[in-house]
Amino acid sequence: FTVMSSPLMVSISGVRGIVGASLRPDVIVQYVAAFGHVQKRHSVEKPVIVLGRDSRVSGPWIEKIVQGVLLAQGYDVLSVGIVPTPTVQLMVIQHKAVGGVIVTSSHNPVQWNGLKFVDNDGLFLGPDWCEKMFALAGDASKLDFPHHDSSRAAPVLMEHATAIDEHINAILALPYIKPEAVEAKKYKVCLDAINGAGGVCMTRLLERFGCTVVGMNTEPSGIFSHEPEPLPENLKSLCERVKAEKADFGIAVDPDVDRCVVIDENGTPIGEEYTLAIAVKFMLGHVGKRGAVVKNLSSSRCLDDIAAEYNCQVYATKVGEIHVAKGMLEHKSVIGGEGNGGVMLPDIHIGRDAPVAAALILQQLALFGGKMSELKASLPQWEIVKLKTPVLGLNADYAIEEITKEWSAKGARVNTQDGVRIDGDDFWVHMRKSNTEPIVRVIGEAHSTERAKQICQEFMDKIQTLGKA
């Protein structure tokens, strides 16, 4: 549901709201208690839930509320502090926890915060259990808090300071990760961690590969130095720094470190779609894996072209990490992810993971032997454009339905599993309402930026005209 003046976004991506308006202590209690309730289905003697957060300034008090609710429900809480979202997912698996909670609203602006919920398999809570959890959150009478008695030990809050190192060590333990091959290149890397949760983790990881790291915004203060989504328009200072430092490349992550974006040696963003493309090239090419690649419907056709080189099939799912994760399990995928810089590698855990993305990119660049701009140029070339417009005052569902009818009648390839995606021979466009913000997205791709812009703008104009009709 959405409160029009101040939205609480509730979806398979968790709960996100504006702190003090739609995200208040009572709202946090409701949703965390509902999550604790549904996780009771994993009946174990001493159930543990892992709790981590990004660096947002509202994080400390929200973290304390989450701890209190979970302890009141009889859970031991393994508190890992300020860490990447994928670190929490990995800790759930490694510590055999019944679930995880991450206090974050990912790439949303600074006034937002939220909650992401992880199941006992390290994946985000699936759509069916999300539905049950959201229903319970709206009906507090159904939530149970056990009576503690002297026959049972009181639940314990455990501080766990080594989660980041455990995550890095798990990446370096992968058989095809060879830090010595990267060390020989002596890369100089500019890192923009936007004062989120990634400064410590990404710096340590890059240094383990022998890189000289020029850190920008690496303090986890939560006071973001620019808009937090790692898009080219928000990364101008990183691009300038790469040029000024004569660095080999730059890396930007979002506040909760599940997205990784690369800037080439000329200070030019290679495009967030190419993070996953380079990772897929490495896994299918150098590592020699064969099997399905899974992406979401808004991801580049570059991935299809790379997979076709190795006779591998690509499957597309609805947008949202859990949908991609379920698709990866279903198709026994060797790699997958989302085109927003999110790489998902089943050999470690099925979740978008910027440290994993950086490790795969470092390995591929070292093997390639050239510059980052040349590595990008060696891959199939597609140009993507991403537009968005507020959903307020717009009947987006009707507009998308009308566009779907029109293009189906034209005989185009139309996919309606998440909004609508229309595929032509040399372009595609995807229109959908966001799970995480009160907006409609129009994403399109063609072989030139001009053509992609023109296609996206035509469809955006159509949505705005039809939606206001």
Cα 172 from Cα 347, distance rounded (Å): 12
Amino acid at 370: G
Q: Is 225 a catalytic residue?
A: no
How many other β-carbons are positioned within 10 Å of the β-carbon of residue 159? 9
Phi, psi of 414 (to 5 degrees): -125, 130
Residue 71, helix vs strand vs coil: helix
What is the three-class DSSP state of 267? coil
For residue 26, with 0-12 CB atoms within 10 Å meaning exposed, 13-18 middle and 19 or more buried, which class applies? exposed
Q: Which position among 79, 106, 300, 333 bears the catalytic label?
A: 106
Q: What is the DSSP secondary-structure string of 300-316?
A: -THHHHHHHHTT--EEE
Torsions phi, psi for 282 (to 5 deg): -65, -45
**What tokens appear for 400 in the block?**
């998308």
CA atoms within 13 A on the CB side of 248: 19
Pairing relationship of beta strands 249-253 and 112-118 according to DSSP bridges: unpaired
Residues 6+ apart with CB under 8 A from 383: 271, 445, 446, 447, 448, 449, 451, 452
Structure tokens at 94: 């490694």
Q: What are phi and psi of 162, to 5 degrees?
A: -105, 15
Q: Which long-range contacts (CB under 8 A, 24 or more apart) does 449-455 make?
A: 449/383, 449/385, 451/383, 451/426, 451/427, 452/383, 452/384, 452/385, 452/427, 453/385, 455/385, 455/427, 455/429
- CA-to-CA distance for 298 and 307, rounded, in angstroms? 17
Q: What does DSSP say about strands 413-415 and 420-423: parallel, antiparallel, or unpaired? A: antiparallel
Question: Going edge to edge, which strands form the sheet with 342-344?
Answer: 314-317, 293-296, 335-338, 342-344
Residue type, 462: K
Which residues are known to be catalytic? 106
